[in-house]
Amino acid sequence: MTSLADTEFVVHSIASTCVDNEKEFGDLDAVVGDGDFGYSLARGFEIVLADWDEYDRSSPSAFLQKVGRVISGRIGGTSGPLWGTAFLRASMAVKGKDEVTGRDALDMLRNAIDGIKTRGHSDLGDKTLLDALVPVAAALESDLAAGTDAPTTLRHLAGVARRSADETSMLQARRGRASYTGERSIGSPDPGAVAVAVILERLSAEWADRVETERPSSHTD
């Protein structure tokens, strides 16, 4: 079981990662897109962080719902609706719950994926962030079944996301501005999929540091 504090920790890590990697994400998007992906995410998540103390913390669902609404209303282009929908749909998976289990986390991720598919009219293989999120969901389900601890699971998910993001280089974009370039979109990774990988890599590292910091130290006299 995890607490609201854990949900806050994850969302804060996502927001900080998107702000800090504005240039990298923008440069990736500029290869075959319009280059505004990094800028849009950074501006939206800056607002999430600026208003951090004002969010409803009565439950994990209420918190995620507020974050999703901020993202939907403040991030421009296609990113706002997609990422906002992801948070809003994730919030629905834990509605009425005070604690979030690993299984709940999987349900949240699957809800987010379904929301992105519906909102973006996209699916696996279209060269979008789904090409990282869907394999990550499968890996999470496997680790939950095996009883793997959170730090190990996050390292595994980060590795799956990175490999999946790299593999999008072989795909032709079928959604978004990059789809207009046809075969020219082959050869570079999808910025959204890379963002998922970078987010999970940082979250994995930060979660491990957090666990280490909270671990009681042993002293011998």
Strand partners of residue 45: none
pLDDT value of residue 143:
98
> Residues near 200 by Cβ (< 8 Å), separated by ≥ 6?
136, 154, 157, 158, 161, 162
- pLDDT over 50 (residue 67): yes
pLDDT value of residue 221:
44
What proportion of the chain, given as a percentage, has pLDDT over 90?
Answer: 66
pLDDT value of residue 216:
65
pLDDT in tens, 69-100: 999 887 767 778 899 999 999 999 999 999 89
Domains of the chain: which residue ranges? 4-211
- pLDDT over 70 (residue 12): yes
Question: How far, in Å, CA of 161 to CA of 194, rounded?
Answer: 8
- pLDDT over 80 (residue 192): yes
pLDDT in tens, 102-156: 999 999 999 999 999 999 888 998 899 999 999 999 999 999 999 999 999 999 9
pLDDT value of residue 179:
55
- pLDDT over 90 (residue 37): no
Question: How far, in Å, CA of 79 to CA of 47, rounded?
Answer: 15
- Note the maximum CA span of the chain: 69
Q: Where does 4-211 sit in CATH, by number?
A: 1.25.40.340
- pLDDT over 60 (residue 219): no
pTM value > 0.85: yes
Q: What three-state secondary structure class fits 100?
A: strand
Q: Lowest-pLDDT range, 6-20, 77-91, 177-191?
A: 177-191
